[in-house]
Amino acid sequence: MKRKVTRLNTIFLALLGVYIVLAFSSNPPNGYTGAPGEQTCQSCHSNMNPNYAGTVEILGLPTTIQPNSIHNITIRVTATAGSPVRSGVELTTLNGNNQNAGTVIATGAFLTQASGGGRTYVKHSNAQPFSSNITDFTFTWQAPSGPSNDPITMYAAAVLGNNGNGNGMDRVVTTSKTGTMAMAATPLSVSIGNVSHVSCFGGNDGAALATGSGGTPPYSFSWSTGFMGAFPMNLDEGIYIVTCTDAASMTATAMVTITEPSQIVVSTVSVTAIDCDNPNGKATINATGGNPG
């Protein structure tokens, strides 16, 4: 009976090992990136292969991270010794308080995402074979809106695998990469100055100058007339709206009213006619409107 139980235990452990290999080669569990408070893949892949060596890199995370910016991140696994057959990865992104940072917008081929313990994980959906000793896993990540100067760290673990021949004789490598959140830009705004109103009734010699500030320079300007630029001229009377667009595609608007003088009106105030007793006539007139002076 004892021998039978031992044999059953052996079979159970063998089946469990097969299950782990098959399951983790397609969807590893959360929490094995080597981030603070986490283990690495070595917890399951014991008995490391002494002949395997390699690295895992995180590519695409800038040193200075702009708020809400979008980045294509590549997890690159490189085999430098031995002949590992395939690799799998897992990555999480944390802020300075070791809390989840940013948003995974989309995962590329062979990757999936999952959440657990308040963290988001990007991990292989299927382990991938090496090509020229390299495997790449790419996903799209959007940075958080802040706070400024907060460190953002990506933690990744990778397995240099032996093609599923058990969960031993693999090699686990880890890495991390840190960027810092940039100072948040002041909100984009636009103002209109140096306004020249139309000088004569019915004229079109008005002008205005738009100036952008805040946001992310450089700026471009478009007016409700269709004019492109900061300084439209030859404007007639009317209301004009300018839209300022910065390098981050943020927009701000401002409005200005160009006026013109009223039409000149001449009226007769008095007339003194000439006669035999007064050969000198005179007339008095009054003008209104226009641009006096």
* Per-residue pLDDT at 17: 41
Residues of the chain with pLDDT under 70: 1-26, 41, 43, 45-46, 164-168, 289-290, 292-293
Q: Is the alpha carbon torsion for 278, 280, 286, 292 positive or negative?
A: negative
What is the rounded radius of gyration, in angstroms, for the C-alpha atoms of the chain? 37
* Per-residue pLDDT at 259: 96
* Per-residue pLDDT at 247: 84
Contact 162, 170 (CB under 8 A): yes
Could you give all domains of the chain from N- to C-terminal order, each with its CATH number? 26-181 (2.60.40.4060), 189-258 (2.60.40.1080)
Q: Is the alpha carbon torsion for 29, 105, 140, 178 positive or negative?
A: negative
Q: 141-158 pLDDT, tens per residue?
A: 999 988 989 999 999 999
Distance CA(227)–CA(231), nearest Å, equals 9
Distance CA(91)–CA(109), nearest Å, equals 15
Question: CA nearest 171: which of 48, 38, 279?
Answer: 48
Question: Rounded to two decimals, what is the model's pTM?
Answer: 0.60
* Per-residue pLDDT at 21: 38
Helix (H) or strand (E) holding 196: strand 189-196
Question: CA nearest 22: which of 88, 75, 110, 115?
Answer: 88
- Relative to beta strand 64-65, strand 171-181 is parallel
Residue 23 phi, psi (nearest 5) = -70, -50
End-to-end C-alpha distance for the chain, whole angstroms: 120
